[in-house]
Structure formats: C-alpha cells, structure tokens
Chain A
Amino acid sequence: MTATTEEPTLYDVLEVEPEASLDELRAAVERARETYGTESLAVYALVDETQLDEVRAKLDEAAAVLLDPTRRASYDRSIGRFGTSTLWAEDDDDEAPLPPIEPGPHARAAPLDLDAGADEVEEEPPPRQHALALDLSEGPGPFGRGGGSAPPPAGVGEAPAGDASPAPLLSGDWAAAVPAAARASPPPEVEATAAEPEDDAPAQSPAARDRASEEVEISEAVAEDVAPSSGGGLPPSLGLRFKPGPPPERPEIPAAAPPLPAPVPIEVAAMPEHLPELPARRDGRIRLDIPSDAEFNGELLRRVRESYGLSLQQVAERTRITRIHLENVEADRYDRLPATVYLRGILVNLARELRLDPARVSKTYLLAAQRAHGRAF
C-alpha cells in the first residue's frame, strides 16, 4: 500500500485501503473477528496458538486505532498520510447525519466526562451514559470512543479516581474486586451485596462494597454504552483476545440465589451446583474475572489455577508440563525457568489449560521476567 515502510500498516492488518470509510472498517473488523476469533473454524490447527494470538493482538490494535477518529488521524500522520482524515470524514458525512469531526457533541462530551469523573462519580455515570449512547447510536460511530474497543473506556475510566477499572468492559473490575474478594473475610456479610442488582462484582467486604458498587455502576454504564455500538457492527472488544460478550448484560442473579458467591470460587472447585451463581457464569465455569489487560505473574496464575481447584500435580498431568516448571513459574523463579522458546510454550499451554488468553499470559509474564531478571526475551 502507500506505506513506505516494510512494516504492514494497520490498514494492511485489516486488509482495507487507507481511504476506507468507517463502515468499511467496521465490516473489515467484523470479518476479521469471524475469521480469526476464538470461535473461528478457519484457523483451527492452521498455525500454533502463539502466531494466532499475535495476529489477534494486531487486529485488536488496528481496530482500536482505526475506529477512533482521533487516533486514526494521528496514526495517519505517523505513517505519513496527511489529509486522510478529511477524506474519510467526508465519506462519513455522506453516509450519516452526524459528521464525526464536528466539534459539537464529541468535544463537549469528553472533557465533561473527565471533570465529572473527578468530582462526583456517583452523579455522573448516568448522564454520561446517555451522552455516549447518543453519540454511538446516532453518529456513525467515530464518536465511538465506545466503539473503539479497549482504549476508550480506559480513557474514560481515568476519571473515577484512578482506582477504578480500565477494563470494566470485558469482565468487570477484576483488579479491585477479585483480590479483595479473595482476601476479604468470608461469607456472612455477603448477603447484602449478592442481593443487589449489580451482580457483576463479586461479593466483597463491606469496606470495599460501596466503592465497588460505584464501580459496578460505572462499568455497567460503560458496557451498556458500548452494547448499542456493537449492534452497529462493533463488539466492545473484538472478541479476539477474549471471548466476546459484555458481562453486565447478564440477567441478575435470581433473588433466591444463595449468597455465597465471591470468596468461594477461590476455594471451591468442583461444586457444579454452585456454578450458575459464580462470577464467571457465562462460561459455566468457576473463574476469576480477569481483565483483558491483566499482567500475569506467578501469583496470579497460581490463583487462577486454585480457583479451578486444580493441584499442581493435576495441571502437570494435564498439560504435560513438568511440575518443577510449574512451580517455578508460579513462584516467578525466572532464573530456573527454561529458555524463552520453551517458557513461552509452557505459558501458552498453561494459559490454555486455565482458560486464559495464551498470548496475554505469555506476553505479560515474559515481560515481567525480562524486567525482573534482565533476561533477553
């Protein structure tokens, strides 16, 4: 294409022309999801999972950048394409009532979010939700900060006091909720939380609860914002890295549901009758909610393993990774781990066994290893 570098451009990645309109881009993203997504038959046994995950990560990136007008414009500049933004903005003008570049709603909405988030988290979410929803459904989508998968909510998410959730989009606020849940004092006080309609966050200690329910509201708001946009052809995350499906849409726990959920999954492994109530209901599996941007280290991997009630021995038998390696992985004993090629294989294998995103696990773990150990990865 037009890029002078050897590196394929993000347009190449999505197999579209740099002049592609937003609709064309969306269609390309949808096609890519169908072709390379976790459900796709077409990539089954074609290449190894690592290669596949690299491609998925690239596609995710391409979608995140190109579907966001601002990011697309600056990306275009970075590859030496000037004036494209005008080009495709015109395209969209033709096709849709609201030109994406128009300073109006977009410009106003964003700063508003930030202010609001900083000041009054409780108040703001609903209005913002509307603002975004409006943008998304009426505009062709470049507003679609919401449409742009991961990054947008991250931007929005800075607002709520920083402690909140960059990734409410995928699986709820894991970072805040799960460790809290894991360490929090057990069941008794859970009742109230479980009865609440926002069941996205696992039950927590009362201390964490208030904060958590705010976060839940926010994450639900964001997720709902995004949902309509996915109707417009844009899933919140491409579903390339993680299985698609915005969690908050799930129906609430029936009132009758016994109030154990959160702390339990860590310990309880094989209690099928509890499955429907547990945080990760959509898989029908007991699972920690892990955001798409989680950084995996040994500790986290161990927790996930334990949440399945799997012993090291069992994992070793199932994955054929030796127990020693597994122990070293979980203990972050980088110096005792095998060479990177093998380590990556181990991580990918382990991640698969634990139903985690293999690319994410191997990438973040290797990165951490590199940082800590100075290994050349």
Chain B
Amino acid sequence: MKRYGLNNVVELVGRPRPRSDDAPGRRRRIVAVGGGKGGIGKSLVSANLGIALARAGHRVTLVDVDLGGANLHTCLGINQPQGTLSDVVTRGTPLEALAAPTGIENLSLVSGAMDALDAANPRAQARVRLVEQLQTLDTDYLVLDLGAGTSLHTIDFFLVADHGVLVLLPEPTSVENAYRFLKAALFRRLQQTAQALGVAHVAEAALESQGSATRTPAEVVKTVAESHPDAAVLLERSLRDFRVKLVVNQVRSPADQSVGRAVVAAWKKFFGLDMDYLGAIAYDDAAWQTVRKRRPLLLDAAGSAAATGMISVAEALVALDRPRVAR
C-alpha cells in the first residue's frame, strides 16, 4: 500500500493508513476517548487509563483535546499547566514543550484549555498542525480526552487514533448519543476515504440511493466496487479499520453488564463492523468521591470496584496491541 504524506487532515484520516505491522519496532499508540454525550466519564476514563498504562511501565502523554471544556488536570488533581494546546495553534510551540509532569511517573499532561474566544474551534489548518505534532510525539501512549458532541475536530481526533475508545453509560440518552457519534465518525471516515480515492461521487450516490442514513458500509463498498473495484478494496480496508473499543461506565445491574456485549453484537449486525469490548466499570461511590476530592481514582481508591474495572479496561486495551507489537 502506498504511504501518503500528512498534508492535511483529509489525507490523514481519509486515506488508509499503513497498518501498524508495517512500522518497525515500538510505536506510539494514539488512544482517543470519546462518547458523544457529556458527563459520562470520558475524562475520568482518560485520566485513569493514562495512570494504569503509566503504572504498567508505558510512557504516557495525556492530551486534553476537549478544547472548550478542558478539565483533565482536575481529574488528575493538579493545576492547569501553564502552556496549553492553544500555544501550539497560535504560536507554534512544540507539543513536547507543553507536556507537564503530573506527579505520576511516566505520565505527563498537555492541557487543552483554550480561552481565546474562537480557539475552541481551531481552523482546519491549525488542527492539522496539531495532529501532525501528536503523531510525532515521543511517547508510548498518547491518550486524547475528547470533548462531548460530534463536532468535526472531535471526530477527526477520534479517527486519527489507533484506538477510538467509546465510553457509554447503560442508559438511553448515552446510548443514543454514542451511536450518533459513531455514525457521524463512520460517515466521515467513509466520505473522506472515498474522496481521497476519487470515488466520492459514487459513494455519495450509494448512500443516497436508498434514502437511508443507515446503509451499511458493506453496501456502499459493494456499489463502489461495481465501477471502481480497486478503490473499493481500499475503501473497505479503511472502513474495516474503524474498529471501535467499547467501555461501559457506571454499570449497576447484571442487565447493565450485558449491555456492552449487546452493543458489540448489534453494531456488527447492522453495520457489519467489529467492535472490541474492553469491559465495564462499576458504578461506584468511590469514583464520585475521588472526583469531589480532585484525586485520581486509581490513586485514591485503588481497591474500589471502579478502579478494578478501570485497570482491566487498560489491560484489555494493551492486550489488543500485544500481538501486533510482538510480530
């Protein structure tokens, strides 16, 4: 497969990227934690995932890309670092210079707080620079804490990641937003890849022919294959790479426990795409209390049910990389 330059975001997320196996040696992993809805524990998951990975000996950089509502530093119990992502965007400060220590070994934080009025929605140009820097940062794991909603830059960060982690709560509002987020991301991936491959018009037509927003990727690929078989192969690969990692947070009942598996099955059934289930995190007063105290869950309530779940989520994530890295 050809390697494409990282000229712009469309290139980045749109073209099929080289599979990780192609890259020699250890390689940084980008993990993006999203979920569509606010208040579902994205920052909590990001922070503690970062801690768990760091404790397992990986070098981890947490990046708060919730540009309008950055509060990852609060989850970690530290003050907002001096430099933030806005310096990258506005002054071209290198990302490395911004990574602040967190007091936890192997773990540093880049704050995303952007106070300039329009900085929370950086222009495409700025986003591209940001993404480029993220991709070249010297670290093992880059954990991006995404904001709520389905804005383009949120989705692009999700698509850029090696692991798009979707957090959802077992409740209708969260599930609804999570699916909206997923579908938006999938659609963007499809659109961009098709565009990069020069078959955007075919893909568009395929999407619209049935008047349904929920045509399966496979159907679109099939339609594209009729006229552009080569492009269809790449398109399919790109879509297949859209393999979301699922975390179900605040699980209370046995029925909640099964939601994760059911979501994976339903997504596969209707969209034909695989999803990896990383695990469930128990609803736990301890988690809530640690947030109140502004102390990370894994440090302050290490034995709690929520912390245990968090650790197994981190382990499941690392396990996904293992076979590839070993190769």
Contacts and interface: CB of A to CB of B under 8 A. Distances in A.
Interface of A: 15, 31, 34-36, 40-48, 51, 55, 341
B5 interface: no
A42 B266 contact: yes
Given A47-B214, A47-B270, A51-B214, A42 B180 contact: no
Interface stretch (B149-157, B158-166, B257-265, B279-287): B257-265
B262 A34 contact: yes
Interface in B161-209: 170-172, 175-176, 179-180
Given A34-B258, A51-B270, 8 more contacts: A31-B265, A35-B262, A36-B269, A40-B262, A42-B266, A44-B176, A45-B172, A47-B214
Most buried by B among A15, A46, A55: A46
Contacts of A341: 211
28 contacts: A31-B265, A34-B258, A35-B262, A35-B265, A35-B266, A36-B269, A40-B262, A40-B266, A41-B170, A41-B172, A41-B175, A42-B175, A42-B262, A43-B266, A44-B172, A44-B175, A45-B172, A45-B176, A45-B179, A45-B180, A46-B179, A46-B267, A46-B270, A47-B214, A47-B270, A48-B214, A51-B214, A55-B270
B214 A42 contact: no
Nearest to A52: B270
Nearest to A15: B265
Contacts of A42: 175, 259, 262-263, 265-266
Interface of B: 170-172, 175-176, 179-180, 211-212, 214, 258-259, 261-263, 265-267, 269-270
Given A46-B179, A51-B270, A341-B211, A41 B265 contact: no
B208 to A, nearest CB: 14
Contacts of B269: 35-36, 55
B214 A41 contact: no
Nearest to A43: B266
B267 A41 contact: no
A130 B120 CA distance: 71
A117 B60 CA distance: 73
Contacts of B179: 44-46
Most buried by A among B175, B211, B266, B267: B266
A35 B266 CA distance: 7
A346 to B, nearest CB: 15
Contacts of B261: 35
Nearest to A55: B269
Contact of B171 (A31, A34, A41, A51): A41
B62 to A, nearest CB: 30
Contacts of A40: 262, 266
Contacts of A45: 172, 175-176, 179-180
Contacts of A46: 179, 266-267, 270
A41 B259 contact: yes
A58 B9 CA distance: 41
A237 B214 CA distance: 28
Most buried by A among B212, B262, B270: B262
Contacts of B176: 44-45
A45 B214 CA distance: 11
Nearest to A45: B176
A34 B170 CA distance: 14
Nearest to A40: B262
A15 B262 CA distance: 13
Contacts of A47: 214, 270
Nearest to B170: A41
Contacts of B211: 341
A320 B134 CA distance: 48
Contacts of A51: 214, 270
Most buried by B among A31, A43, A48: A43
**4 nearest CB pairs, A to B:** A42-B262, A45-B176, A35-B262, A42-B263
B137 to A, nearest CB: 35
Nearest to A39: B255
Contacts of A34: 258, 262
A12 B211 CA distance: 27
A341 B171 CA distance: 31
Nearest to B182: A46
Most buried by B among A41, A44, A51: A41
Contact of A41 (B212, B262, B270): B262
Given A42-B175, A44-B175, A45-B179, A36 B266 contact: yes
Contacts of B259: 41-42
Nearest to B269: A55
Contacts of A41: 170-172, 175, 259, 262
A47 B258 CA distance: 20
